[in-house]
Chains A and B, each alone.
Chain A
Amino acid sequence: MNKRVVVAMSGGVDSSVTVALLKEEGFDVIGITMQIWPEDSKVERFGGCCSIEAAEDARRVANKIDIPHYMLNFRKIFEEKVIDYFCEEYKEGRTPNPCIRCNQLIKFDILLKKARELDADFIATGHYARIEYSEERKRYLLKRGIDEKKDQSYVLYGMTQEQLAHTLMPLGSFTKNQTREMANKIGLSVADKQESQEICFIPDNDYGRFLRERFKNITKQGSIVNKEGKVLGIHQGVIFYTIGQRKGLRISSPRPLYVIDINKEKNEIAVGNNDDLFKKELTADNLNFILFDKLTESIKVKAKIRYLSPKADAVVYPLKDERVKVVFDKPERAVTPGQAVVFYDGDLVVGGGTILEGRLL
């Protein structure tokens, strides 16, 4: 019997082409679309990668390619594991990355379990990253997608060996343009669909409104101060700010001001000029390494501190309590607590963690 694979179908072009490629390779493909919308949402949701419309698209693709397709309800678990976490992190004055969280706790955990229940050998996603087994290291390796602009390995650094062993990412060897071409060739109606960049559960991208609705009575105004502690203005609640933010501060100043620090304890936002955003080092926790189990000695890497930032030369030092220190060769702009720092060695993902704090020195 052919190997069975469950493909996480979002309704977008990437997961659709993933289905087509695997079917062509002879896999017994099953499509699953995870429904994650809160059930009480009154607002009609349009767009977004897991909206009702996207689910309909996924169904159409499954019909076209002729595979069984199921919509499974992940609302409750998504709410608990991703949305609640997202909100809590903002409450702590941090800037979370919900995609990483979803990958770790939903896609490569619960969905993988569902796939096993269906006797599937693998799950597959439309991520632009490559998974390879290294005989030499006796480990599964995660490599960046060959399309450098589309590379999504950053959001996958949290994958365990077990997860990597049971996951396929066929698009990692293609460029986005090639994917679109393939979609066109197969005649998928989603071929020219817009890329979804926003956070999937906030399709209008207005996370401020989203958080405001969630924390009706919790947000508290506070002071906006400069580096010397002088009060320059009033903020609307720490949850609405992120490091490096320039807009919406409502302070007049001869030079542009940026959020350089968020102090949840003092309920203060610190602002400064662009230079103040540069940090030489950071600490991170919540670590996961792919090249090895544990970091025991310092290692030279290229580090990436957000999804769209370029990689920078750095050295990672192990610390006590399952943390690491990352020292950059040149200071990095807007090191943001809550975001992930991911380490690379050439094409290989070494591992990564969640940024705790950045330091000047």
Chain B
Amino acid sequence: MRFVYLDHAATTPTDPEVVKEMLPCFTESFGNPSTLYKIGREAKKAITLARDKVAVAIGAKSEEIIFTSGGTESDNFALKGVAFANEQKGKHIITSSVEHHAVLETCKFLAKNGFEITYLPVDKYGIVDPEDVRKAVTDKTILVSVMQANNEVGTIEPIAETGKIVKEKGIYFHTDAVQAIGAVPVNVNDLNVDLLALSAHKFYGPKGVGALYIRKGTRMMSLINGGHQERRRRAGTENVPGIVGLGKAIELAVSKMEERSKQLTFLRDKLINGILDNIENVRLNGHPEKRLPNNANFSFEFVEGESMLLNLDLVGVAVSSGSACTSDTLEPSHVLSAMKVPIEIAHGSVRFTLGKNTTEEDIDYVLEVLPPIIKKLRQMSPLREGLDLNV
């Protein structure tokens, strides 16, 4: 059976070139970067090189990059780090209602610890209006956090514009750029951000490693205390192979971005048009243009997303119904809810996210197997009573 992986927003396969760079770190240059002898210095050098690569990729200075265990830790670090280091200035934080759970749950935690959180609404495409950010700022606001690109519907937020407003107000600005790296240009100065979270496994790097950009001069509290690693901001012996992999992966991702985006956009649009043309009662979620080149998120009316996922899995197509982190609940996606997609329609949502290895044949295969599945499920669906649907 053909295997078609279309869940690259959940994770990506590690690029063999990345793996190749990582391998010596496990067995040959295995030293602890904090030691002074040769093999330790080699490890330190590898980390420094990786840090430089990350810095170059996002237009930052090397000393502004802190390695973490991934996107979730980076978001936690950004929010809690700023919140607890600046609470004497005020305890108000602004974020959006479509953030990843790494941000939303951290905000919930902060709310329990005395912070006031404002969750900004979005329009029907999932876009946060920068003017809403301006209006929400009070003299107690210490941090604004808005994602650069949405993991579920792929909508790209006007971060540069929002960043400009936040900067004028003299408040810290964090963006979760986990989905954006390698897909759209990410430059911390163009975006006017003070903090930026990224995760290696979303752009063909290994899992378990990420980074947080912290603009020089940002008052932060550490979450993980211990040794002097990462300038004392994130203690613990460095994940050297992971960090090296992250460095290589981000270098490749940025250098190949244009070429890949073009190809992804072509295939994505083929998928979108193929589905919209061949299946009735389906809507594309997210912005028609301002969206990630690899993301296509649909709501199929009168079907449950879960049923589609299972059926697609059984014919070798891997997709998800929103965020992988929320798949164990039956609540409709908070992103679609915020976009005011009606609950019964949100339940029938499926996210297709393409990757660099996706081929036109893969898309053809999906367009071949999907319509009969939708047709079958609709025939069985209690939701479609009284409706006469061809597909």
Interface residue ranges, A against B (CB under 8 Å) = 30, 35, 39, 68, 70-73, 75-76, 113-114, 116-119
Contact = CB atoms under 8 A, between A and B. Distances in A.
B219 interface: no
B314 A68 contact: yes
A71 B328 contact: yes
A70 B314 CA distance: 11
A224 B377 CA distance: 55
Interface in B275-318: 306-307, 310-311, 313-314
B310 A116 contact: no
A116 B328 contact: no
A148 B139 CA distance: 75
Interface of B: 306-307, 310-311, 313-314, 328-330, 376-377, 380
Best-surrounded residue of A68, A71, A117, A119 (most CB of chain B within 10 A)? A117
A117 B311 contact: yes
A71 B328 CA distance: 8
Contacts of B380: 113, 116-117
Given A113-B380, A117-B377, A39 B310 contact: no
A265 to B, nearest CB: 38
B358 to A, nearest CB: 23
Contact of B330 (A68, A70, A76, A117): A76
B310 A117 contact: yes
Contact of A75 (B306, B313, B330): B330
B314 A73 contact: no
> Which 6 A-B residue pairings sit nearest by Cβ, starting from the closest?
A73-B330, A117-B307, A118-B310, A76-B330, A117-B380, A117-B377
B231 to A, nearest CB: 39
B329 A39 contact: yes
Contacts, number: 29
The secondary structure that dominates the A interface is: mixed
Contacts of B329: 39, 73
Contact of A114 (B307, B328, B330): B307
Given A73-B329, A117-B307, A119-B314, 8 more contacts: A68-B313, A73-B306, A73-B328, A117-B310, A117-B311, A117-B380, A118-B310, A118-B314
The secondary structure that dominates the B interface is: helix
A24 to B, nearest CB: 21
Nearest to B303: A117
Contacts of B311: 117-119
Contact of B306 (A30, A68, A72, A119): A72
A75 B330 CA distance: 8
Given A35-B328, A71-B328, A73-B329, A117 B314 contact: no
A72 B306 CA distance: 8
Nearest to A30: B314
A79 B329 CA distance: 14
A116 B380 CA distance: 9
26 contacts: A30-B314, A35-B328, A39-B329, A68-B314, A70-B310, A71-B328, A72-B306, A73-B306, A73-B328, A73-B329, A73-B330, A75-B330, A113-B380, A114-B307, A116-B380, A117-B307, A117-B310, A117-B311, A117-B376, A117-B377, A117-B380, A118-B311, A118-B314, A119-B311, A119-B314, A119-B376
Contacts of A75: 330
B374 to A, nearest CB: 11
A117 B378 CA distance: 10
Contacts of B330: 73, 75-76
Nearest to B307: A117
A175 B336 CA distance: 51
A68 B313 CA distance: 9
A73 B326 CA distance: 12
A81 to B, nearest CB: 15
A114 B377 CA distance: 10
A116 B382 CA distance: 13
A239 to B, nearest CB: 29
A90 to B, nearest CB: 27
Contacts of A39: 329
B151 to A, nearest CB: 21
Contacts of A119: 311, 314, 376
Contacts of B310: 70, 117-118
Contacts of A72: 306
Contacts of A117: 307, 310-311, 376-377, 380
A73 B328 CA distance: 7
A8 to B, nearest CB: 15
A119 B307 CA distance: 11
A153 to B, nearest CB: 29
A305 B21 CA distance: 70
A319 B234 CA distance: 77
A31 to B, nearest CB: 12
A73 B306 CA distance: 10
Contacts of A76: 330
A32 to B, nearest CB: 9
Contacts of B377: 117
A30 B307 CA distance: 14
A35 B327 CA distance: 12
A20 B311 CA distance: 23
B102 to A, nearest CB: 20
Nearest to B330: A73
Nearest to B331: A39
Contacts of A30: 314
